[in-house]
Each structure stands twice: as C-alpha cells, then as structure tokens.
Structure 1
Amino acid sequence: MAGTRFNVVDARLARPRLPQVLERSRLLDQIRAGLLEFPLTLITAGAGYGKTTLMASAAELYPDSTLWYSLGEEDADLTRFLQHIAAAFQRRNRRHGRGLSALLREGAVDARSATAAAGALLNDFERIREPLILAIDDLHLVSDSTEINQFLESLVENNRSLVHLMLATRTEPPLPLGRLRARRMIFELGSADLAFTSDEMRSLLEEVHHRPVSESDLEFLTRFTEGWVTPIQLALQAGRTLAPQDLPRAMERAMASGATLHDYLAVEILDRQSPEWRRWILESSPFEEIEPDLLRSVLGESDPEGRLRELLRRGLIQAFESDSGIVYRYHTLLRDLFMRRFRAELPEADRQKLHTSAAAWFRRRGDLVAAARQLAFLEDRTALAEFLRAEALTLLDSGQYQALAHWLEQLPPGLLDEDPWLRLRRGDARHYLGDWPGAELDYERAQALFQRQGDTSGEAWTILGLARLWNLRGQSRRAVEEGEAALDKLTDSGDRSSEELEVRLLKVVSGAHYYLGQYADAIRRLDRLEELARGHAERQAVVWNNRAVVHASQGNYPA
C-alpha cells in the first residue's frame, strides 16, 4: 500500500561474517576486473553453490565501499525494499540516498511510480563522487514482485554512475539480460563458474577441513558433486567420524532420506516448488537426458520448450549441445534426490506407466541402452527380461557388454535358470568381458535347456559361443567338429530365418579350419559365406579379408 512505513531490519543490512573459507582467487580476480568494466555483476547459481560466500568475500576486498542488503521473502513489497536500500546508503553517509528517502516520505511509491523511484535513486547515485558497491543477496526471493522488477530494470539500464550493482540469485532475474549483454553492461558468473575445480576441492578438503584426500576419492567427489560445494560440506559433517578414505561412503550416507544433504536439497529446492511443478520435476527425473520430444510423448507436455526454459531460469537444469541439438539434464545430486522422491511419492502404477512409455519411446529411437535403463527401474522384471531376450544380440554387437551383464544380473535367478536365451546372452556378455569359465557354464546350461526343448536353432547359438571359446583356447579341432555338425543341422532344417546364425557360425568355423591349417576347408566355408554376403557390404568385407589371409598363408598373393 502506498505510503506504508516499515521498520528497517538492521540484520538485513549487515554483511555476513565469513567463517574459515577457501579464498577463491580465481573468481575474485574476475569480479575485480568486472567492477572496473561493467556497472552490474550478476551471480546466478542454485542453492549451495557459494553465492553469498563469494559476494561477501568480494565485499571484504572493499569493506568501506560496500553496502549490503540480504533479502527475505517479506522484502517483496516495493516500499519495504526501497526503505532498506535508502537506509543502507544513509547509514554510510547521511547525504547519500536523500532523493529516494524524500520520495518515500511523500508516500508516492507504488507500481505506477517504480520507474520514478529508480530515477530518484539514480539521481542520488550521480551525486556520489566515490566508487561504491551495492550488493543485494537472494534476489530470487523477490523475483515475483512486478514492481521491484520494474524498479531494477530501470535502475540497471540507466546506471552510469560510480555505484556498482552486485546481485546474487538462484534464478535468472526478469531483467533485459540480452540488451545488457549486447551493451556490455553486465558481468555474469553462473553455476559452472562457481563449481569447484578439482584443485579447489583438494584445497578445501586439505586446507580448510584438514582431510587428506586420495586421487581416487577426489575423482569420485568431483564427478559425484560436479563441484557443488555445499553437498561436500554436508557430507563432511555427516562423515566426521569416518576415516578420510571413507569420503565416498560419507557422500552416499548423506543422500539417504532423513540425512543432512538429502534434507537440505529437499527443503532448499524441491519443497519450494508448487505441487504442480514438484510432480512435473519428479516425473521427468528418470531421464538422464531430457529432450522436448520425450516430454511431449511420455509426459504429454504441450509446451516442453517452455517448461525447460523455466527450469533453466530457476537453475534446476543444465543445457548442453549434442549431435541432435540441445539436450537438458539435472545435476547428478538433484536427480538422485528427485528419483528418491519420485519412488516415494508417486503410485507404483503411475511409475510403471511412465517407465514403460519412456522405454518404448527410446526403443523407437534406436536407443536401446536408454530403453533398458527405463525398464530396469520397474520392480517387475518381466518387461526387462522380454526386452533383453529380443535386443541382447543388438546390444552385444554395439559393444554394450558390461551394461547387458548388469541388466541380466538384475533378473530373478529363477528366470535365468528357466530361460535358455537369457542364459545364452549372459554367456556372450561374460565371454566378451573376459570371464571365459563363467561364459562356458552359461553356454552349457543354455545348451542343455535348448536340447530339452528340441530347439535346434537355439542349440546352434550355444555351439557358436562355445566354438569361439574353443578357438581362443587352442581347441580349434573341437570347434570344427561341433561347428560343422551345427551347420549341417541348420541346412537339414531348411530354416531360412537362421541366416544370421549361419553367417556367424561360418565365420567361426572357417577360422577354426584356418587355425588347423585346413585351408581348402576354410575357403569352402568362406565360399558359402560369400553366397550369403551378397548385398551386405560388411559381410563381403569379412569374406574378402579372410580369404586374402588364407591365400597369403599358402604363399598366394592374388591381385
């Protein structure tokens, strides 16, 4: 209400006292340079990135020239906001801020006169003959105030004085940032700038917290926190009784529900969202990379681009360039929190529907790894098993051995015991990962199950896996015997759907003949492979290469 007077809260104008902190000379040097070149410094980063600490550290460089205002939610009233700014100036020098104070005494400050208030303060600025810094912290707490936004927009766009504005906020403020950047009127630091480097993290641990850290633990903390400092501090508090080498365990303990870090992130970030935004954030958290088409298809979002822009403004998501364009993702720790709350707050039926729909979307796109990750979230592993049964060979061909082995290990043991195809593919994964004894056991178990079912094709697949192992172990004669028998059975069956299997068997058997010095038999099998390779450039390349090797081994070098 116009003319309303508020008591100035002294604590709001007191610069925070810094505990023992790591001096971040890298950033302070940039701020020093920015003070000389730009009228506005904007520090934008999420909760816990050290915005207040950095701005207070910068203020300590100029203790007699810095005015401080820490905002609270109650400061969203324009009159209250301006009264504190006027008080900050007049407490330093009674002649400063007279114009704004006079305007406030007249009771003329309302939504229509926000620009006039900015003009009054700018006139006050012009009468100041020494460099000053007005540092305003937690600007996001008043960002919903149209009047304050109008005031700040007019102030920052027209400031040509010796007074430098320094703003810290969790969300991108509704200021004309594009114009300010184009006119070189703003110096900015964001989350990526405030994130601790590996060297800064080492210094924080060893110099401030007196915790020696190994290279492996430092790499883990850097990757897990992405340089976000408050999670590191809270994890150190949670792990005070742990040995220095247990820092990763302290980090994981701090993220458990009810622990310090989990609760901090929940209160400072998630609990500040509206119910509608909270649910939307939780529903999008299962996606490692977020694209507008994914949100449109899976979540039914009508304006995914608008949603993502707002998340960027709020500092809750990060944007990256990729081959397919811009993709978005949550910070690792935020996604961990969101996923925990997603599992705790959403009904199982809703979660199952979302994961299943997302898996189908990724599968249509050909991203089988992302599809499998979605199905692995389901408590019922049936859908994951069906997916792996159908797509395991493609995953193997694309080199996803470790991922496939991991997903197969998540299946119930009884399912693996009963399903020879899943046993077979786990054998393949183990083979490529170098676990030959484990692979052999899986192949033999799958072979017995296929034989019991009378599945000739399935049994031939197990012979293929075993023959590869036999060749690697120098048992090529057995590979020839078993492989040739399997090829004969495939020929006798007349099953043309087994062409891919026959091609793979021919490669392995021709190789076994070659290792045994049976060059004519190797060429014979390569001739059959060439028949199946017509129209397949990759298969033809294998035939030509292997035939050249066989001929060269006999001293023949065809042109």
Structure 2
Amino acid sequence: MNALLDRVAMRRLSLIHAPAGFGKSTLAAQWVAELERRGSQVVWFSLDSDDNHTLWFLSHLLECLQRAHPELDQSVFQILEERPEDAERHVIPLIINVVNNAPSRCVVVLDDWHVIDDSRTRDVLARLLEVSGDKLGFLVTSRSTSGLPLTSLRVHDQVVEVAPEILRFDERESRQFLVDVKGLSLSGMELTELHTTTEGWIAALQLTSLSLKENSDVTALIGNLASRQHGISDYLAENVLDLLDPKLRRFLLLTSVLTRINAELATLLTGEANAEQRLEQVLYGDLFLQRLDDSGVWFRYHHLFGDFLKQRLKRDYPDKVGELHSLAAHWFHDQGMLSPAVDHAILAGEDAFAADVVEEQSLQLVEHSQMATLLALVAKLPDSELRVRPWLQLAIA
C-alpha cells in the first residue's frame, strides 16, 4: 500500500473500488493522513443521493474546496444560481485557476461515488479530471467503476486502482486482526477456517470478532458460516445484534432511519437522555459507526450495517418506522435543513408536509437568487402535491 501511495501523490485519480465492507473509506482515511504529512491539502466530500443534482454536487464540492482555498468566495456560488443550465462551464475553470496558483497540491476525496448515476454530474468529474493538471487530484471510493473516465486515464498513466483482491486480508492479516488487534484466542486451524469462510472480507472478520467477544463458541460459529453460501454478513450482523444489551440494540434500530445522526436527534427518536454517551458507546464498541466531522457532532452507520439495521427495524418495530421518519422530518425542518426534512417527510408518508417545507421557503429562496436550490427541492416532491400548490408553481415558473 505504501508503494501505491507514492503513485497516489502524483496521479489525477486514485480509485478504491470494492463491494460494501471492504474497508474502502478506512484505507482512504489512512492515505489522507499520509498525504497531509507529505504536504498536500486534502478535503473530504461524503457523497449522497442529493449530489446527483449537479448544482448541489458543485455547491458541496466548492464548500469542501473553500476549506483549503478560501479565495473561492461567494461569487463562485452565485454562478450556480445565475447560470444553472451550464454552471460547470464557468465554475470548473475558476477551480482549476485557484488550485494551480496554490503553493501545494490539493486532493479531493469523493467518498461513495457509486451513489452518483446522473450523467451530467459524472461529466463534471470527468472534465475536472481532464483539466486538473498537477495541482489537483481526486481520491475516489466506490462500489463500482461506473461513471469514471478510466480508459483515457489509463492510457495516460493517470490513475491508481485498488481493487477488491488487494483489499482482502490474506491469512496472515486475518490472524493479526483477530488475534493481535481484537485479542481473540484462536487455534491455527480455527483461524484458517475463519479466513477461508470469510475470504478475507474485512466486514465479516469484524462482525466475527464482535460475535466471539460475547460468545466464544468458535466451532459453532464456523459451522454456521460454512453452511451459508450467501448472507454471511446478515447472519453475523444478526448474531452480533442479538448478543447486545436490549437497550443498546433498541437505540441502534431506532436511529437506523437516519443517514446522519447527532445526539439531539438520537434523543428525540429514542427517548434516551444520554444519547451522546450511547453514540460514544457504539463508536468505541466498533459497531460500524463513523464520524462525519472533526468535531464529533455528526455520525453515520456504515452502509452495510445500516442496511441490516433498517431491515431489522421493519421486522421488530414495523409500526414505528413512519413515526421515526416524521420526527426526523420535523426536527430537520426546525433546524432549517430543508433537503433531509423533505426526504424524511416523504418516507413518513407526509407528502403534504414535505411540500409545505418547500413552499414556505420558496419566496426566500427566489429573493436570494437560489433558484437552483428551489428547483432541486421541488424535484423531490410528488406531482400530486405540485398540482394543488399554485404559489409553488408560480415560484418555479
């Protein structure tokens, strides 16, 4: 990996691609620390489905770049509102100019690129990679290679690729992880069988360590894993969840509806006054919770574990799913966070409230020349709500 890192410091694109649970973001974070030590400026951009809207992608990208290049002032953002149809034609040259005049190289981490399927947004990254030069690089994590101009980058030797076979642990690394790091007492044969069954899949090894921490019946666990051709992660996650304290398990399930979690929001959804301590317990218990900011205010569950928690929530608390989304929608609305407020309202089945959120802010967004933001929010709403809201139709006309 260190040899690869030498190339990462020079190439326009570094791509870490593998299915969920292979440690892509963890490796990226390790590389970020080393790149910063070598003098590069690094900014981290965690993508979500909203970034399929090209103007929001550009806006979020600019917000990240501003941390390294404050000279990218509000006038650049104004272009997004004034020229929504072709904003990238004007914004990309400004980004390149600022980066090229900086004393050090800038690397942008795009985490979870696989959520981007919009062709225009993909074209923006392709154009940035084409004209980036020596001062701008991208470190991308993704479950696939879709939407990236790999052919041309390979021809010009401007891409570093880390594939699943590189990320898989070999047997020695599996032993180091389970025995040296996690402190499990395992025989050589047990280690070999666990490594063979999990195929060095990091998430499965982590779930295995959590399972064996509470229940040391290694033989039974290996037997259950070996009997499953598919669904190993679901089996292990189920096993881990069932071994947890019931109150902690309930906390995990009720907060799983959130794509981003903080203590106040967790308290609202769970009724637990000590939500901040709970989040720390989950984080330091290695239960697949990740920090989203340096201050430790916002968190998210690892996608693989989060998806499992949501499935389990529907099974154990089917009547609470809508209520939880509703609580989240109203909380985000009160905080002025319009996009997640609309998303949760729709998931709660409260289409009218989702439209109310957009409608009540529409005039202010128009007055502040934030038409791109308004149009992106309107695009989330069902047609049935738009048809009965003449003011909203007028605002976007």
- TM-score band, normalised by the shorter chain? 0.5 to 0.7
Out of 190, 195, 216, the residue aligned to residue 168 of structure 2 is 195
| CA deviation after TM superposition for structure 1 residue 80, in Å | 1.2
Where does residue 62 of structure 2 map in the other structure? 86
1:276 aligns to what?
Answer: none
Which of 206, 221, 236 is matched with 2:179 structurally? 206
Match of 2:42 in 1: 66
**Partner of residue 103, structure 1:** 79
Counterparts of 2:141 and 2:208 in 1: how far apart (Å)?
A: 25
Conserved? CA contact 2:12–2:132, under 8 Å: yes
Equivalent residue for 1:135, pick from 95, 101, 109: 109
Q: Please, which of 145, 154, 159 is the counterpart of residue 127 of structure 2?
A: 154
1:257 deviation in Å?
9.8
Distance 2:217 2:33 in 1: 32
Regions of 4+ moved over 4 Å: 96-100, 252-258
Superposed CA offset, 1:32-53 (max 9, x none): 2122331210111110000011
Q: Secondary structure at the match of 1:240?
A: helix
Counterpart CA distance in 2 for 1:95 and 1:115 is 19
Amino acid at match of 1:73: S
Q: Deviations over 1:488-517 (max 9, x none)?
A: xxxxxxxxxxxxxxxxxxxxxxxxxxxxxx
- Counterpart of 1:174? 147
Residue in 1 aligned with 2:259? none
| SS of equivalent residue, structure 1 residue 218 | helix
1:447 alignment counterpart: none
- One-letter code aligned to 2:83: A
Return the match for 1:123 from 86, 91, 97: 97
Call closer, same or farther: CA 1:197–1:212 in 2, change over 3 Å.
same
Q: Provide, for residues 273-299 of structure 1, a one-character-per-residue CA deviation record: whole Å limited to 9, x for no partner.
A: xxxxxxxxxxxxxxxxxxxxxxxxxxx
1:485-504 map, 5 Å? none
Distance 1:257 1:78, change over 3 A: closer
Q: Which runs of 5+ in 1 are unaligned?
A: 1-26, 265-559
Structure 1 residues 189 and 243, CA gap change in structure 2 (3 angstroms) = same
TM-fit CA distance, 1:245? 4.2
C-alpha contact (below 8 Å) 1:115/1:151 kept by paired residues? no
Asked if 1 retains the 8 angstrom alpha-carbon contact of 2:13 and 2:129, the reply is: yes
Q: Is the 8 A contact 2:79 2:87 kept in 1?
A: no
> 1:42 — aligned with what?
15
Deviations 1:78-133 (A, max 9, x none): 111111111112133411477743533x52133x4434433332222212221222
Q: Number of matched residues? A: 235
Cα offsets for 1:499-538 (capped at 9, x unmatched): xxxxxxxxxxxxxxxxxxxxxxxxxxxxxxxxxxxxxxxx
C-alpha distance in 2 between matches for 1:136 and 1:103: 23
Distance 2:146 2:173 in 1: 28
CA–CA distance in structure 1, aligned partners of residues 128 and 60 of structure 2: 16
RMSD (Å), alpha carbons: 2.9
Q: Give the 3 Å change call, closer, same or farther, for CA 154–115 of structure 1 in structure 2.
A: farther
Q: Which residue of 1 aligns with 2:262?
A: none
1:134 and 1:57 map into 2 onto residues whose CA distance is 14
What are structure 2's unaligned runs of at least 5 residues?
241-397
Could you tell me how far 1:259 is from its partner in structure 2? 3.5
How far apart in 2 are the matches of 1:57 and 1:172?
Answer: 21
> 1:69: how far off?
0.7
For residues 386-425 of structure 1, what are the structure 2 equivalents within 5 Å? none
CA distance in 2 between partners of 1:36 and 1:107 (Å) = 36
* Deviates most, 227-236 or 90-99: 90-99
**Correspondence 1:356-395 to 2 at 5 A:** none
TM-score by length of 2: 0.53
Cα separation, partners in 2 of 1:101 and 1:124, compared to 1, 3 Å: farther
Residues 245 and 203 of structure 1: is their aligned pair in 2 closer, same or farther, counting only changes over 3 Å? same
Counterpart CA distance in 1 for 2:224 and 2:210 is 9
Identity %: 23
**Deviation readout 1:222-250 (Å, 9 max, x if unpaired):** 22222111011112223333337435246
Instruction: Give the corresponding residue for 1:145.
Output: 118
TM-score calculated relative to the size of structure 1: 0.39
Aligned-partner SS, 1:153:
helix
CA deviation after TM superposition for structure 1 residue 65, in Å: 2.1
Distance 1:117 1:95 in 2: 13
Distance of 1:248 and 1:103 partners within structure 2: 58
Q: Aligned-pair distance for 1:57?
A: 1.4
Counterparts in 2 of 1:68 and 1:258: CA distance versus 1, 3 Å? closer
Give the secondary-structure state (helix, strand or coil) at the position aligned to 1:232. Answer: helix
Question: In the alignment, is the contact (CA less than 8 A) between 1:71 and 1:137 conserved in 2?
Answer: yes
